[in-house]
Amino acid sequence: MEKKLRIAVIAHDGKKAELISFVIREIENFKEVDLLATGTTGLLLEEAGLKVERKRSGPLGGDAQIAAEVVEGRVHGVIFIMDPLSAHPHDPDIQMLLRICNVMQIPIATNIATAKLMVRGRLRD
């Protein structure tokens, strides 16, 4: 029996609407994976009809919680829709999550174009 893929989903405040719109367009693909998300993003995904394991919000440690799950081998991909034009007080946690994904060879999408490739390809490789 194949293990179900587990994807973490995060979005900066200025990108949450863009992420939710993407998820709704790709809802059938998202229903095929286990999702975990940071606070408000997780709530919005639940409101879109998905089952989500919610972590704390990013500034309160949610990014670090997801990084820990990556290190433990419990996450197969991360979608982190970032707002590159805004400052983020928890930037060290964001950089740590990006670094951990790179070290652990976990795919990470930081924009919708890459997220689309990840979700439609279902992380097959």
CATH of the domain at 69: 3.40.50.1380
b/e 25-61 (16+ beta carbons within 10 angstroms → b): eeeebbeebbbbbbbbbbebbeeeebebebbebbeeb
User: Residue 15 falls within a domain, yes or no?
Assistant: yes
Average pLDDT over residues 68-78: 96
User: Residue 1 falls within a domain, yes or no?
Assistant: no
Query: Which pLDDT tens digit goes with each residue over 17-60?
Result: 999 999 999 999 998 899 999 999 999 999 988 999 999 998 89
Query: Which pLDDT tens digit goes with each residue over 74-122?
Result: 999 999 999 988 877 778 888 999 999 999 999 999 999 999 999 988 6
- Tally the domains of the chain: 1
User: Residue 115 falls within a domain, yes or no?
Assistant: yes
Which residue, 118, 119, 110, is CA-closest to 88? 110
Structural domain harbouring 76: 6-121
Question: What are the residue numbers of the active site?
Answer: 63
